[in-house]
Chains A and B, each alone.
Chain A
Amino acid sequence: MKFPTGKTAGVAAVTLALSLALAGCGAGNGGGGGGGSDSSSEKSTITFIPKNLGNPYFDTSDAGGEKAVKEFGGKYAQVGPQEGSPDAQAQYIDTEAQKHTSAIVMSANDPKALCDSIKNARDAGTKVVTFDSDTSPDCRDLFVNQATSDGIAKVEVDMIADQIGDAGEIAILSASANATNQNAWIEIMKKELAAKHPKIKLVETVYGNDDDQTSFDKTAALLQKHPNLKGIISPTTVGIAAAARYLSTSSAKGKVALTGLGTPNSMRKYVKDGTVKEFALWNPGDLGYLAAYVADALVKGDISGKEGDTFKAGSLGSYKVGADGVVLLGDPFKFNKGNIDKFNF
């Protein structure tokens, strides 16, 4: 085997080094011209880290957050992993800690695994506010909850009981197996079913990982494995959209009820064609908006996170911090054929 030696190798080695360096330079073309620029400006930098990118629910919530940040004159950024796993999210939290961002607003992929990275960030002076999906309460500064977990779980159970006549087999199509929020809701759902709906049997819980294709395939598997299934609850917007899409082209359309948490825009077609009768959500834009204001209030020192602190959240009005550092947005809202055209998100 001939190894290149001599002048050509030498010249090529230097050229390779230069081209690699240029590739690195070229990739950084948008990069900051100066060194550490904004560490000591008055603008607070708020970075949103959703569970994963490419999720329409988080696109809406983070857009609401961006609106709020512009209103109070801060600097907005959104970063996040492609898949909803805690170790990918932890790397982004670490990066924000390095950049001395003023505040992180995040939806957590796991209650405990992210605590170390969050602690690093808080030690570096960054405020950490969770929204939509919490970590364990001692990790973060504050949690902005869209509605009480009880309220969310109950409304979904009530809807499915209503739609299947309070008797029959149901299944749950959730997001990822470790997601704090979905797991909390599922626990309450099981208790509700046992207490108030004894004739309804929960046969299986499957996990779609908030991935559209996986949720689609898991719905197909559910229908095939449980031929007597009467209803599916999907407490995640990606899951319910994928399940609706599968149901609407299958022979189970109209026979198997589907409900859960979904966004009006992705569900409009299926409500109109009868696949889904009713589903619930809140306004994720409002959620992001409120979370951004909470973060800003923490950064500016208006509140310290104690129970009873009050602050103003732009056009949403004033809010009070509740127990365990939780700020509540409101109640869930039910969408059906009658009102779905009024919303655009």
Chain B
Amino acid sequence: MSTVQDAPAREARSYRSYTRPLWWRLLFNREAAVIAALVLVILWAIYFVPFFGNQLTMTFLLLDIAPILLIALPMTMVIITGEIDLSVASVVGLSSVLLGTLVDHGWSVPAAMVVALLAGVVCGLLNGFLVAYVGLPSLAVTIGTLALFRGIAVGLLGTKAVTDFPAGWTALAKAKIGATGLPVVVIPFLVLALAIGLLLQFSSFGRGIYDIGLNAEAAQFTGVSVARTKLLLFVMTSVVSAFAGIYFTLRFSSSRGDNATGLELQVIAAVLLGGVSIFGGRGRLPGVIAGVLLIGVLSSALRLQGTTVNVINIIIGVLLIASVMSTSVLAWFSDLNARRHNRSRNRSGPTTLAPAGVGNPKEVDR
């Protein structure tokens, strides 16, 4: 005789894949907020700031923020894994100095560029090794390498500056694509953005990055090689920084030890503004790109108006704090709402939210 009874028939239950419909999810997230802000600021600038609307402005804007755009892409990935890299500006300076010194000694520009990129690889390996394999906190390590790389850059060149570069290369750095007014440097940026976007979304390496940010131990157990991933990310960041340094040097035709000092703060501010969480585990590229553009447009518009760098600084600082605190503030509101909902539900019926087996104190004394 079978001891298994037939289970009573149940209706098939269907579950929604998401709480909200697709259009809601697309429009009401952090990235959309930043993109909306960007659009609004551009509209304001076009109507209210003289000379903003012409093509020259866009060209100069993109030329100015190209290094930040480039570096923000791999920096996004680094921050998603929960680490941080403060040494990017020093790598820019170091590659700038290497390019200048070698060209000054008669090397050809392409050869010097290769050396500068290799230096970026070495810097990234140092960072990544100390963080991923030795296990040191990335904040401390990158503060150290920030000083070390910048110090090597300044030490190599002293306070001199190399300003003699072949005209062909400096013109290339500032060239525009046909009649559109977009600078040529936008092409490597778009290629990199596309590659990293696809990497993050569609490859296991990319999904692994999100996993590491959410819970590194769990990621390790699901087969993600945490140490190797972090090492690769730091190398990527430094190589892109080295490339940005090459661009910076050729654009301003000036190789100095103190080039791009303070750039790392602008990159991090832009990345955090774009919706990437400093705790790791979430963030998307469109938000980051919008964040960088937002800061760039604001700076450019304010400069055209004649306000100097002080107001821009205050605005960037306020935006940074507001964007980071908004997550906490929103979470707090959600908590409040949830608690209010729970309280009203408990009053209406006996259903509890606790899973079966976990008794409520009220039920124990039955």
Contacts and interface: CB of A to CB of B under 8 A. Distances in A.
A118 to B, nearest CB: 12
B148 interface: no
A99 B50 CA distance: 8
A184 interface: no
Interface stretch (B177-185, B239-247, B314-322): B314-322
A220 interface: no
A33 B281 CA distance: 44
Nearest to A37: B50
A14 B35 CA distance: 11
Interface in A1-41: 1-6, 8-10, 12-14, 16-21, 23-25, 27-28, 30-37
Given A2-B331, A27-B302, A79-B306, A87 B33 contact: no
A27 B311 contact: yes
B17 to A, nearest CB: 14
A90 interface: yes
A95 interface: yes
Lowest 8 CB-CB distances: which A-B pairs, in order?
A10-B28, A21-B40, A177-B159, A20-B37, A17-B36, A113-B254, A13-B33, A4-B330
20 contacts: A1-B281, A2-B331, A2-B334, A10-B24, A13-B36, A16-B323, A21-B37, A21-B44, A24-B40, A24-B45, A28-B301, A31-B48, A32-B48, A77-B306, A92-B303, A94-B60, A98-B57, A99-B304, A177-B158, A177-B159
Report the contact-size class of chain A (Cβ under 8 Å from the partner). 35 or more
B298 A24 contact: yes
Interface in A55-104: 77, 79, 81-82, 85-87, 90-92, 94-95, 97-100
Contacts of A4: 327, 330-331, 333-334
A59 B124 CA distance: 44
B41 interface: yes
A207 interface: yes
Given A20-B319, A35-B50, A28 B305 contact: yes
B47 interface: yes
B20 A110 contact: no
B330 A12 contact: yes
B29 interface: yes
A153 B279 CA distance: 59
Interface residues of B, number: 71
Nearest to A4: B330
Given A16-B326, A17-B36, A23 B44 contact: no
B138 interface: no
A304 interface: no
B53 interface: yes
Contacts of A91: 64, 303
| Residue of A20, A27, A97, A99 ringed by the most chain B CB atoms within 10 A | A20
Contacts of B302: 27-28
Contact of B256 (A77, A85, A98, A207): A85
B61 to A, nearest CB: 10
B150 interface: no
Interface stretch (B160-168, B197-205, B225-233): B160-168
Given A1-B214, A8-B330, A86-B254, A23 B308 contact: no
B305 A30 contact: yes
B305 A31 contact: yes
| Residue of A36, A79, A94, A113 ringed by the most chain B CB atoms within 10 A | A113
Contacts of B281: 1
A6 B20 contact: yes
B307 interface: yes
A35 B45 CA distance: 10
A333 to B, nearest CB: 30
Contacts of A27: 298, 302, 307, 311, 315
A86 B163 contact: yes
A6 B334 contact: yes
Nearest to B280: A1
Interface string B9-21: 0000000000110
A6 B19 contact: yes
Nearest to B328: A4
A86 B164 CA distance: 13
Interface in B199-255: 214, 248, 252-254
Contacts of A2: 331, 334
B219 to A, nearest CB: 14
B353 interface: no
A8 B174 CA distance: 45
Given A31-B49, A98-B51, A98-B57, 20 more contacts: A3-B282, A4-B331, A4-B334, A6-B20, A9-B28, A18-B40, A23-B315, A28-B307, A77-B306, A86-B161, A86-B254, A91-B64, A95-B303, A97-B56, A98-B304, A99-B304, A111-B163, A177-B160, A178-B159, A178-B160
